[in-house]
């Protein structure tokens, strides 16, 4: 039976995994870095191939954000290696990140990623994990829909901005329809603090105040939206 899905805010479960670069332990292998674990239904499939190429082409952008990538499916190491070789030979793209081999479904089961219709396919999902090994975001996609890697880059950047400045991030940031490239100040917890909010920040009301962050943060986020 598939395991329960780990929750946002929980520690990424400890596991020893076989990958295309050897056996590693998660999340310890990426200690001090963010990492994006993304599962794909199967090797040698068209949508997954386009995704691997897209991730590979943005790998340096992820590294700029102190973020590593790691793939996962219930295929074997042999299958992963042959597929990666095929991508490089036929499409001219080198896959620079490790891929977890999980033919017995142990890892997929522990993360709740075995497909309901078929235990031979992995659910298409994304886990964004911070340097402390805490799961910060989980995304799920249907088998027929490939992911938007620029949005995953934007999410990592936005989470880092949120942590660094103690703010919340509005919809479509940094191109929000109401507050543009500004960020949301956490709501007040006392009457006095609520009144101070109105004096200190730009506000629609005391519970909806916003402020600027350094322009370099905004420009970096905008670049990820244009990295296609």
pLDDT in tens, 172-183: 999 999 999 999
| Mean pLDDT of the residues in the chain | 94
Write the burial class of residue 208 (CB in 10 Å: 0-12 exposed, 13-18 middle, 19+ buried). middle
Q: What is the predicted pLDDT for the residue at 67? A: 98
Question: With 80 as the cut, is the pLDDT of residue 196 above it?
Answer: yes
Is 209 annotated in the active site? no
Can you tell me the distance from the alpha carbon of 117 to that of 154, in angstroms, rounded to the nearest whole number?
Answer: 31
Question: With 90 as the cut, is the pLDDT of residue 14 above it?
Answer: yes
Mean per-residue pLDDT for 182-207?
A: 95
Can you tell me the distance from the alpha carbon of 107 to that of 167, in angstroms, rounded to the nearest whole number?
Answer: 34
Are 118 and 80 within one domain? yes
Are 97 and 167 within one domain? no
**What does pTM read for this prediction?**
0.93
Q: What is the predicted pLDDT for the residue at 120? A: 64
Q: What is the predicted pLDDT for the residue at 118? A: 57
Q: Evaluate whether residue 8 is within a structural domain.
A: no
What whole-number percentage of the chain has pLDDT above 90? 88
DSSP label at residue 69: E
Q: Evaluate whether residue 51 is within a structural domain.
A: yes
Structure tokens at 223: 């670049």
* Catalytic-role residue among 42, 48, 128, 161: 48
Can you tell me the distance from the alpha carbon of 91 to that of 211, in angstroms, rounded to the nearest whole number?
Answer: 45
Are 89 and 141 within one domain? yes
Q: How confident is the model at residue 1 (pLDDT cuts 50, 70, 90)?
A: very low
Domain housing 108: 15-145
Mean per-residue pLDDT for 32-46?
A: 97
Cα torsion angle, 141, 63, 91, 39, sign: negative
Can you tell me the distance from the alpha carbon of 183 to that of 166, in angstroms, rounded to the nearest whole number?
Answer: 10
Are 26 and 122 within one domain? yes
Q: What is the predicted pLDDT for the residue at 198? A: 94
Mean per-residue pLDDT for 142-150?
A: 94
Q: How confident is the model at residue 2 (pLDDT cuts 50, 70, 90)?
A: very low
Q: What is the pLDDT of residues 48-101, one digit of tens each?
A: 999 999 999 999 999 999 999 999 999 999 999 999 999 999 999 999 999 999
Are 132 and 167 within one domain? no
């Amino acid at each position: 039976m598939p395991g329960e899905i780990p929750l946002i805010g929980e520690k990424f479960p400890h596991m020893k995994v076989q990958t295309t670069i050897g056996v590693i332990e998660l999340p310890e292998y990426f200690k001090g870095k963010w990492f994006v674990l993304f599962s794909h239904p199967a090797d040698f499939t068209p949508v997954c191939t386009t995704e691997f190429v897209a991730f590979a082409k943005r790998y340096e952008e992820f590294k700029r954000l102190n973020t590593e990538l790691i793939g996962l499916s219930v295929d074997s190491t042999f299958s992963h290696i042959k597929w990666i070789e095929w991508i490089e030979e036929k499409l001219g793209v080198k896959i620079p990140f490790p891929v977890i081999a999980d033919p017995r479904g142990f890892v997929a089961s522990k993360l709740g990623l075995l497909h309901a219709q078929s235990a031979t396919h992995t659910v298409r999902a994304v886990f964004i994990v911070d340097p402390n090994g805490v799961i910060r975001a989980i995304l799920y996609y249907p088998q027929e829909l490939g992911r938007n890697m620029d949005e995953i880059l934007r999410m990592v950047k936005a989470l880092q901005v949120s942590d660094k400045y103690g703010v919340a991030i509005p919809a479509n940031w940094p191109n929000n329809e109401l507050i543009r490239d500004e960020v949301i100040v956490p709501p007040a917890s006392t009457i006095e603090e609520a009144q101070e909010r109105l004096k200190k920040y730009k506000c629609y009301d005391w519970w909806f105040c916003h402020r600027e962050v350094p322009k370099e943060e905004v420009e970096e986020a905008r670049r990820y939206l244009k990295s296609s």
